[in-house]
Amino acid sequence: MKRSYLGEFEEIVLLTVAVLELQKQAYGVAITHEIIEQTGRSVRLNQIHAALDRLEDKGMVKSEMGEPTAERGGRRKRLFTVTAYGRRTLQDIQEVRVSFWSRLLNPLNSIGQRDWGMG
Amino acid sequence: MPKTPPPLADKLLRFFLADDRWEEVLGDLHEEYRWQVNRVGERRARWRYWRDVLGFMKPWAVKRNSSKYPTPTNTTMLRNYLKIAWRNLLREKGYSAINIVGLSAGMAVAMLIGLWIYDELSFNTYHQNYDRIAQVMENQTLEQGIQTYGALPLPLSQELRTKYASDFKAVAAITEFEQIIAYQDKKFTRFGNFAEADYPEILTLKMLNGNRQALRDPGSVLLAKSTAQALFGNSNPLHKLVKVGNRFTLQVAGVFDDLPHNTIFTSVAFIAPIKLLFESSEDMDNWRSSSFAIFTQLNPGSDFGQVSQKIKDVFRQHTQDKSQSSLFLYPMADWHLYSEFKNGVHAGGRIQFVWLFGCIGLFVLLLACINFMNLSTARSEKRAKEVGIRKAIGSMRSQLISQFFSESFLFVATAFVLSLVLVQLVLPTFNEVADKRLSILWTNPIFWAACFSFILLTGFLAGSYPAFYLSSFQPIKVLKGGAFRVVRFASMPRKVLVVMQFTVSVTLIIGTIVVFRQIQFAQNRPVGYSRNGLINITMNTPEIQGRYDALRNELLATGAVADMAESSSPITNIWSSANNLEWRGKDPNRAAAFGTIAITPEFSDVVAWKVKEGRSFSRQFTSDSLAFLFNEAAVKLTGLKKPVGETIRWHGKDWKLIGVVKDMVMTSPFEPVTPTVFMMNTNERSLNVIHIKLNPALSAHDALAKLEPVFKKFNPASPFEYKFADEEYAKKFAAEQRIGRLASFFAGLAILISCLGLFGLASFVAEQRTKEIGVRKVLGASVINLWGLLSKDFVTLVLISCLLSTPITWYLLTNWLAKYEYRTELSWWIFGVASLGALAITLLTVSFQSIKAALINPVKSLRSE
């Protein structure tokens, strides 16, 4: 598998873009809030912008300028969408994980039971 | 309560953030701020805002995006233009190489010549008062016409300084000598000046030690940096005692920076007070000895013309001779480029070469440009289809124009870079040939301005044909296929360009031939004496003077010397002259200038001159101390019918003319022989030079080894230095030879560039006519036929240019030769040879391509239809 490396944080951002682009809401602030809400991490705006910049460099997302809104002082948003390549990458990662999870299924259950038992 | 985020943070962000990110980032930040105000209150939101802004201070956010064009379609097109240009360059490597190399060679030549001209024009500008310095010169009206001299009597300097103090800021008389400078055991022969005190001030010497006023102390000397270093190494030279000319012990009072190569005083290594040369102040007040150069610096308010008028008659009031002396100021700005005088007025000088080389440079550059345009237009026709397709897809005409222009600019810029490399490589050799110290003016804005305007001009000219003509095609006509007849229509200007190119080349060939023939002609001129094994030694220390017999005997005793004599001037120059000789039948109101040379009687044997009438000097006759020998030119000047036996009056004495010798070429070999008077009397002219005829039985090396101990014995303080007469004579051709070499270098390049162009064009034509040649071969044409067919056009063009260049060169060279009194003829065969040569070169160049085309198997050329 020759995929360009995707960091954990980048993967989350990419997933968030994939989710939010359905509502045309995949831009800096919305992505930040969504990630804070979903993961509970304290994420800052500049980190999201940096991650999006890297993703765009890698060709996993593309962007275009949206409509200006009043709450932004009449400035436009940059709306991101996941490219086909980004989507494939996400799927590949998912498949790899699923295949590992399926092989780990039984040992994990037993560990879980033991933990539970000990608790 | 304002609900806007802190403006200072916004300003900071605006300052460091890349322009293309600014809008979205600020929008996001503002939106976040509002959200935070609602969530945690304004105060904390402001803090967060600051933190967020500072969070963007990262390299990825600060870095500017390389593209300046906000709309991506345009960059795509520009990239495409470059890509196409690059592919075109690579697809036809041969053409591209010829094109770029030719142009860069032309540019390199133009750049070299430009640097040369810059150096010539900036000559002497090292001196800060360059535009206010002048030399005092004298016009004498003589039998030969008005003659201009720079040598004047010493008291004139004092007179100008005191009587015209309002006009002159400074006046200084100087004289120049080669002298031995010695410090302890180190001795060097150096050229330097004996000067009045203001001299260093006039020249604005850069003093590294001491000050410019130091010469006011008669026991002091100023040294050039290199001389001081040679004498003292790294120790402090100030107040050290040096011995100059083995006579004067002087204290070093200052060290000045070496004068740069492009000043007239560049070889001045020391400056000593002029008073040293005189025993008393009465000696200094001698109006009869004109042997000093007088330099002046004008006050800011005065101008050369007015002051020249004022001082016109100053010398005349102090002299009785009939030469109608008239003084004038000769501005420093003219010294180098306008150094010749004819009948008392400027008659050019090096400025002619500045013009000549300027024209050559311009022409070579023009040749290269023509080539470049020719080849690029020829090739561009192949791209008619590309134009059609681009237009069909939707290209605007203006876009095509900019495409072709950007392509030609790309080519020209590449050639420019290459030419810089070339110049850098060639400069050392060029400097040697041209006797210059040139370097590329990397830091000079004018240089870059000139280069860039040239790039723009050439790029525009070369690109204009494809840009404006090709872009006007109608796509339907171009794309319909079949024969698109652009060639015939476009070939006329190209033919004109080829003719121009070869006219220039043939002109340069003829010019070079004539320059070399002129040098050859002067070299073959009979000199009137024998230079074989003749050496001369300048006596610049007192030890050796006045010990003639002792020295002569010792030298002869070594067996290395065939004979030895002394005289007042070397055989290759005349150091003194007189204009106050009187003879029978002379117009009493006129004066005539003669070279005057004192010799010892043995001189005639040493130089082996030919006595035409009468006899040479002899020690047998005591009366010979008041006797003259004339050369033929002097006899001609005086107009005496039977010269031998005549009496000549000079310096209040009667001199008997005892003989006439054949003319000897002592001054310029391009000019008529100077009328010269020889005498034995050493009171009038002192003996300065030893002439030695080496024994032909010994090699020069062995003979000199035997001479050295003798001179060391007589003159232990000075190094043994000698000059071969034939080498000194050869130096007289240096200037002409330099021109010849430079001209042949440029002519060679011009021909090379023209041939490159022709080669490219011939191969292009051959390629275009591949099918025609195929058909002709099938129908039975022979290789010779085809060769003739393809070469004919070019030969016609070159013949036309030969016809054109003949009258041009005739006119130019007749003018050039007119300045030499002694000159070669412009024979018709030179033009014939040059034309034949050009024709031969053309045929060689074209034949390679045309024979190659004629040999192609027609099956190959006709198959693809």
Residue B490: pLDDT above 70? no
The whole-chain average pLDDT of chain B stands at 84
Q: Does B342 touch chain A (CB under 8 A)?
A: no
Residue B659 CA to residue B643 CA, distance in Å, equals 8
Q: Does A37 touch chain B (CB under 8 A)?
A: no
Q: Could you give the residue ranges of the DSSP H alpha helices within B122-264?
A: 154-163, 199-202, 225-232
Q: Does A58 touch chain B (CB under 8 A)?
A: no
Place A114 in a pLDDT band, splitting at 50, 70 and 90: very low
Q: Is B318 helix (H, G, I), strand (E, B) or coil?
A: helix
Q: Does A53 touch chain B (CB under 8 A)?
A: yes
- Are the Cβ atoms of A72 and B31 closer than 8 angstroms? yes
Which of A42, A43, A45 to mutate to probe the B interface, most B CBs <10 Å? A45
A86: CATH: 1.10.10.10
A-chain CB neighbours of B16 within 8 Å are none
Of B25, B34, B60, the CB nearest to A71: B34
Shortest alpha-carbon distance between residue B34 and chain A (Å):
8
A-chain CB neighbours of B26 within 8 Å are 73, 75
Q: Residue B4: is it exposed, middle or buried by C-beta count within 10 angstroms (0-12/13-18/19+)?
A: exposed
- Are the Cβ atoms of B27 and A72 closer than 8 angstroms? yes
A-chain CB neighbours of B24 within 8 Å are 27-28, 65, 75-78
Residue ranges making up the domain that contains A43: 8-118
Q: What is the number of residues in chain B?
A: 865
| A2 in a structural domain | no
Shortest alpha-carbon distance between residue A107 and chain B (Å):
44
Per-residue confidence (pLDDT) for residue B482, from 0 to 100: 52
Q: Does A81 touch chain B (CB under 8 A)?
A: no
Per-residue confidence (pLDDT) for residue A1, from 0 to 100: 44
Residue B1: pLDDT above 50? no
Q: Does B34 touch chain A (CB under 8 A)?
A: yes
B-chain CB neighbours of A58 within 8 Å are none
A-chain CB neighbours of B29 within 8 Å are 45
Residue B525: pLDDT above 60? yes
Strands (E), B470-582: 534-538, 561-567, 577-578
Pairing of strands B676-679, B594-598: parallel
Place B296 in a pLDDT band, splitting at 50, 70 and 90: very high
Q: Does B15 touch chain A (CB under 8 A)?
A: no
- Are the Cβ atoms of A78 and B30 closer than 8 angstroms? no
Compute, in degrees rounded to 10, the torsion defined by CA atoms B352, B357, B362, B367. 130
B-chain CB neighbours of A33 within 8 Å are 35
| A1 in a structural domain | no
Of B23, B55, B60, the CB nearest to A45: B55
B 562-581 residues inside an 8 A Cβ radius of A: none
Q: Does B29 touch chain A (CB under 8 A)?
A: yes
Whether the CB-CB separation of B678 and B538 falls below 8 Å is answered with no
| A3 in a structural domain | no
Q: Would you state the structure tokens that stand for residue B478, as one six-digit string?
A: 């171009």
B-chain CB neighbours of A46 within 8 Å are 52, 55-56, 58, 61
A-chain CB neighbours of B21 within 8 Å are 49
Sign of CA dihedral A52, A56, A62, A64: positive
ipTM of this predicted complex? 0.82
Q: Does A32 touch chain B (CB under 8 A)?
A: yes
Q: Tell me the average pLDDT across B325-341.
A: 87
Distance of CA B496 to the CA centre of its chain: 32
Q: Does B23 touch chain A (CB under 8 A)?
A: yes
B-chain CB neighbours of A73 within 8 Å are 26-27, 30
- Are the Cβ atoms of A33 and B35 closer than 8 angstroms? yes
Of A50, A53, A75, the CB nearest to B27: A75
Provide the number of CB pairs (under 8 Å) joining chain A to chain B: 63
Q: Is B706 helix (H, G, I), strand (E, B) or coil?
A: helix
Which of A46, A58, A76 to mutate to probe the B interface, most B CBs <10 Å? A46
Per-residue confidence (pLDDT) for residue A107, from 0 to 100: 58
B 53-112 residues inside an 8 A Cβ radius of A: 55-56, 58, 60-61
Residue B417 CA to residue B451 CA, distance in Å, equals 11
Place A112 in a pLDDT band, splitting at 50, 70 and 90: very low
| A76 in a structural domain | yes
Q: Does B547 touch chain A (CB under 8 A)?
A: no
Place B20 in a pLDDT band, splitting at 50, 70 and 90: confident
Q: How many CB atoms lie within 10 A of CB B312?
A: 14
| Tens of pLDDT, residues B169-217 | 999 999 888 888 888 888 888 899 999 989 999 989 999 888 888 888 8
B-chain CB neighbours of A45 within 8 Å are 28-29, 32, 52, 55
Residue B815 CA to residue B63 CA, distance in Å, equals 66
Per-residue confidence (pLDDT) for residue B387, from 0 to 100: 85
Per-residue confidence (pLDDT) for residue B769, from 0 to 100: 81
Shortest alpha-carbon distance between residue B399 and chain A (Å):
27
| Tens of pLDDT, residues B345-358 | 777 778 888 888 88
Of A46, A72, A76, the CB nearest to B55: A46
Q: Tell me the average pLDDT across B375-384.
A: 74
Residue B527: pLDDT above 80? yes
- Residue B614: which region, alpha, beta or left (left: phi > 0; alpha: psi -120 to 50)? left
- Indicate the DSSP class of residue B596: E
Shortest alpha-carbon distance between residue A112 and chain B (Å):
40
Strands (E), B560-652: 561-567, 577-578, 594-598, 611-614, 627-631, 647-650
| A46 in a structural domain | yes
Whether the CB-CB separation of B342 and B196 falls below 8 Å is answered with no
Residue B175 CA to residue A99 CA, distance in Å, equals 104
Q: Does B51 touch chain A (CB under 8 A)?
A: yes
Q: Does A44 touch chain B (CB under 8 A)?
A: yes
- Are the Cβ atoms of A44 and B60 closer than 8 angstroms? no
Which of B31, B62, B65 to mutate to probe the A interface, most A CBs <10 Å? B31
Share of chain B above pLDDT 90, in %: 11
Following DSSP, what letter does each residue of B36-77 receive, concatenated? Answer: HHHHH-HHHHHHHHHHHHHHT-SHHHHSPPS---SSHHHHHH
What secondary structure, in 3-state letters, does chain A show?
CCCCCCCHHHHHHHHHHHHHHHHCCCCHHHHHHHHHHHHCCCCCHHHHHHHHHHHHHHCCEEEEEEEEEHHHCCEEEEEEEECHHHHHHHHHHHHHHHHHHHHHHHHHHHHHHHHHHHC
Poorest-pLDDT segment among B48-57, B307-316, B760-769, B827-836: B760-769
Instruction: Tell me how many degrees the CA angle B558-B560-B561 measures, rounded to the nearest 5.
Output: 100
Per-residue confidence (pLDDT) for residue B73, from 0 to 100: 55
- What residue in A sits closest to B48 (Cα-Cα)? A44
Domain tally for chain A? 1
Q: Does B20 touch chain A (CB under 8 A)?
A: no
| Tens of pLDDT, residues A39-50 | 888 888 889 999
Q: Does A71 touch chain B (CB under 8 A)?
A: yes
Residue A116: pLDDT above 50? no
Residue B310, C-beta contacts closer than 8 angstroms, at least 6 positions apart: B164, B167
- Are the Cβ atoms of B25 and A49 closer than 8 angstroms? yes
pTM of the prediction?
0.69
A-chain CB neighbours of B27 within 8 Å are 68-69, 72-73, 75-77
| Tens of pLDDT, residues B58-95 | 887 777 655 444 445 566 777 788 888 888 888 878 77
Shortest alpha-carbon distance between residue B405 and chain A (Å):
33
| A63 in a structural domain | yes
Closest CA to B567 of B684, B708, B695, B713: B684
Place B7 in a pLDDT band, splitting at 50, 70 and 90: confident
Q: Tell me the average pLDDT across B609-635.
A: 89
